[in-house]
């Protein structure tokens, strides 16, 4: 893998209750609850609305969870951190549909529900739903694939992937969150003080060196390009620094593709491997001033076993044989 776009067939998948087989001619999206006019749309209705196309990352809130364990697992970059992908999403801005339904002033949450076996659902703050959220119909030019929510998917940019409900069938306006199963048994963040945080929706600033990375082997001493990806649910990536000495010194990498809000960017920097052991790290800074934390700072405050929203610096140890493995530094 190189570049920033993930082909649809390689985009990560995570399902809570299987992939339903949906006939778009039988599928409807209903907007109801605290609205002036409950509305129902079929797939062809939605195709006639104005659309937008945006390149956006999507990350599972459990991505990189293995790095919260006490020992560094010897895995590839994809095995450790592969639950993040990028695509050009095309669809209808949700505010068009909500404006048409007429959201009542007392409404403050939207409960989005999918048409999968469990009716998987999440509560989305109305402010987020009105701002950047899209009714996604296309992914990298193609209609959505079944595994990615065909025919209709909610897409909430910058937020944990499970908020972007697949096979979307209803949006219910309420004056409170639904506290669904996904918001109580899952996706709440137990802190060290015993309090569980809910609705930690935004994914924080993060970066990864994808090459060299876990289980690769450098064939010989010499110059290599260190390259990786950075993204933030808090804004656009402003810069990425790379260290080859376990964080003692840092150098600014080049951002090789356009940065943009909620968009993954590839960074690159040349590095000479002298045959000595080296620890490679990257840390990203976003447009809101958030700097990616060290592993210990990322875990501080979290209760042991919390596996969500881990964004600590990924370290790769290159040994004298040129073998690369996951490392805690």
List residues near a second copy by CB under 8 A. 1-8, 10, 44, 48-55, 88-90, 137-138, 140-142, 219, 222-225, 227, 256-258, 260, 266, 268, 270
Which is nearer to a second copy, 147 or 291 (by Cβ)?
147
Which is nearer to a second copy, 10 or 191 (by Cβ)?
10
Residue 309 sits at the vertex; the CA angle it makes with 308 and 314, to the nearest 5 degrees, is 110
Q: For residues 290 and 232, what is the distance between their CA atoms, to the nearest angstrom?
A: 9
Residue 280's closest CA among 231, 216, 221, 211? 211
- In angstroms, what is the minimal distance from the CB of 143 to a second copy? 8
Q: For residues 165 and 155, what is the distance between their CA atoms, to the nearest angstrom?
A: 7
Q: Looking at the chain, list the stretches that DSSP marks H as alpha helix, in order from N- to C-terminal side.
A: 43-47, 77-81, 94-101, 126-131, 181-184, 295-299
- In angstroms, what is the minimal distance from the CB of 239 to a second copy? 17
Q: What backbone phi and psi angles, to 5 degrees, belong to 274? A: -95, 0
- In angstroms, what is the minimal distance from the CB of 269 to a second copy? 8
Q: For residues 254 and 312, what is the distance between their CA atoms, to the nearest angstrom?
A: 21
Which is nearer to a second copy, 92 or 306 (by Cβ)?
92
CA dihedral sign, ordered 22, 10, 63, 207: negative
- In angstroms, what is the minimal distance from the CB of 228 to a second copy? 12
Q: Are β-strands 168-174 and 28-33 bridged in parallel, bridged antiparallel, or unpaired?
A: parallel
Which is nearer to a second copy, 25 or 248 (by Cβ)?
25
- In angstroms, what is the minimal distance from the CB of 276 to a second copy? 18
Which is nearer to a second copy, 4 or 133 (by Cβ)?
4
- In angstroms, what is the minimal distance from the CB of 218 to a second copy? 9
Which is nearer to a second copy, 261 or 329 (by Cβ)?
261
Which is nearer to a second copy, 106 or 272 (by Cβ)?
272
Q: Provide the b/e sequence for 102-133 (b: ≥16 CB within 10 Å).
A: ebeeebbbbbbbbbbeeebbbbbbbebbbebb
- In angstroms, what is the minimal distance from the CB of 272 to a second copy? 11
Which is nearer to a second copy, 38 or 222 (by Cβ)?
222
- In angstroms, what is the minimal distance from the CB of 247 to a second copy? 23
Exposed/middle/buried for residue 36 (C-beta within 10 Å: 0-12, 13-18, 19+):
exposed
Q: For residues 213 and 157, what is the distance between their CA atoms, to the nearest angstrom?
A: 28
* Residues 266 and 211 sit within 8 Å (Cβ to Cβ): no
* Residues 91 and 10 sit within 8 Å (Cβ to Cβ): no
């Amino acid at each position: 893998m190189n570049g920033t776009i993930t082909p649809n067939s390689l985009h990560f998948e995570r399902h809570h209750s299987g992939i339903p087989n949906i006939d778009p001619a039988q599928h409807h999206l209903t907007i109801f609850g605290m609205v002036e006019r409950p509305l129902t749309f079929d797939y062809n209705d939605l195709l006639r609305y104005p659309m937008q196309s945006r390149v956006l990352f999507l990350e599972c809130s459990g991505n990189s969870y293995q790095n919260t364990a006490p020992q560094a697992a010897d895995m590839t970059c994809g095995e450790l951190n592969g639950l993040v992908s990028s695509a050009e999403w095309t669809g209808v801005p949700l505010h068009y549909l909500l404006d048409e339904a007429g959201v009542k002033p007392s409404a403050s949450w939207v409960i989005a529900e999918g048409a999968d076996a469990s009716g998987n659902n999440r509560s989305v703050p109305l402010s987020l739903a009105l701002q950047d959220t899209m009714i996604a119909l296309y992914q990298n030019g193609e209609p959505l694939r079944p595994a990615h929510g065909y025919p209709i998917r909610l897409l909430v940019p910058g937020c944990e992937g499970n908020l972007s409900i697949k096979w979307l069938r209803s949006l219910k306006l309420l004056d409170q969150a639904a506290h669904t199963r996904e918001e109580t048994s899952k996706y709440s963040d137990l802190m060290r003080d015993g309090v569980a945080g809910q609705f930690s929706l935004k994914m924080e600033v993060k970066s990864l060196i994808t090459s060299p990375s876990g289980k690769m082997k450098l064939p010989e001493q010499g110059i290599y390009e260190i390259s990786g990806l950075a993204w933030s649910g808090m804004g656009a990536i402003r810069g990425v620094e790379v260290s080859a000495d376990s964080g003692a010194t840092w150098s600014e990498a080049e951002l090789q593709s356009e940065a943009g809000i909620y968009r993954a960017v590839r960074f690159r920097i040349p590095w000479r491997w002298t045959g000595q052991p080296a620890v490679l790290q990257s840390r990203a800074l976003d447009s809101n001033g958030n700097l990616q934390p060290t592993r210990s700072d990322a875990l501080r405050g979290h209760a042991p076993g919390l596996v969500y929203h881990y964004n600590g610096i990924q370290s790769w140890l290159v040994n004298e044989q040129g073998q690369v493995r996951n490392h805690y530094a």
